[in-house]
């Protein structure tokens, strides 16, 4: 079978046109220890204080102890199945919870997800947990 250079060129162009690559940059680390709901993670060089770290099983941890070569984080939920070597990812989001009138009378977990069996929470938005308190104006009582 004889191949023509034009046929090869067209075949390559066709394959390049069909090639679809989606690249996504993310900061990924590895759990190096798990103890009493605290995980130590190596490899999260760009994590922020208070950032939510995505764990396997649709769970999160909060980065609290930032060191030169590791991060200490508190797991927000069950941790008994977490093990050394598991991969985790930075989310780029500081811990935030839903806010609004839709939360009145509802029972939610630490991240604001409903646990009362009444369906999703109708919230007005999200607010960071760590925020500066609003100023207070006080009048004299005398």
Would you say 90 and 61 are in contact if contact means Cβ atoms under 8 Å apart? no
CA dist., res. 27 & res. 89, Å (int): 6
Domains and CATH numbers, the chain: 26-94 (2.40.30.20), 96-131 (no CATH)
* Band (16; pLDDT cuts 50, 70, 90): confident
Would you say 2 and 65 are in contact if contact means Cβ atoms under 8 Å apart? no
* Global pTM value: 0.69
The CA-atom distances, in angstroms, between 121 and each of 58, 77, 78, 111 are 18, 19, 22, 12
Task: Tell me the per-residue pLDDT of 86-132, one tens digit each, with 9 for 90 and over.
Answer: 999 999 999 888 899 989 999 998 888 889 999 998 889 988 888 88
Task: Tell me the per-residue pLDDT of 75-98, one tens digit each, with 9 for 90 and over.
Answer: 998 899 999 999 999 999 998 888
Would you say 51 and 62 are in contact if contact means Cβ atoms under 8 Å apart? yes
């Amino acid at each position: 079978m004889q191949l023509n250079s034009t046929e090869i060129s067209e075949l390559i162009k066709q394959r390049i046109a069909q090639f679809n690559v989606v690249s996504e940059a993310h900061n990924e680390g590895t759990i190096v220890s798990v103890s009493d709901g605290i995980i130590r993670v190596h490899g999260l060089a760009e994590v922020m204080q208070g950032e939510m770290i995505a764990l396997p099983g649709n769970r999160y941890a909060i980065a609290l102890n930032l060191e030169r070569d590791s991060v200490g984080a508190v797991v927000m939920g069950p941790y008994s199945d977490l093990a050394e070597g598991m991969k985790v990812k930075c989310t780029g989001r500081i811990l935030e919870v839903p806010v609004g009138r839709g939360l009145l009378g509802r029972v939610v977990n630490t991240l604001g997800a409903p646990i009362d069996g009444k369906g999703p929470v109708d919230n007005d938005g999200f607010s960071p947990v760590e925020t500066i308190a609003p100023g207070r104006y006080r009048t004299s009582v005398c």
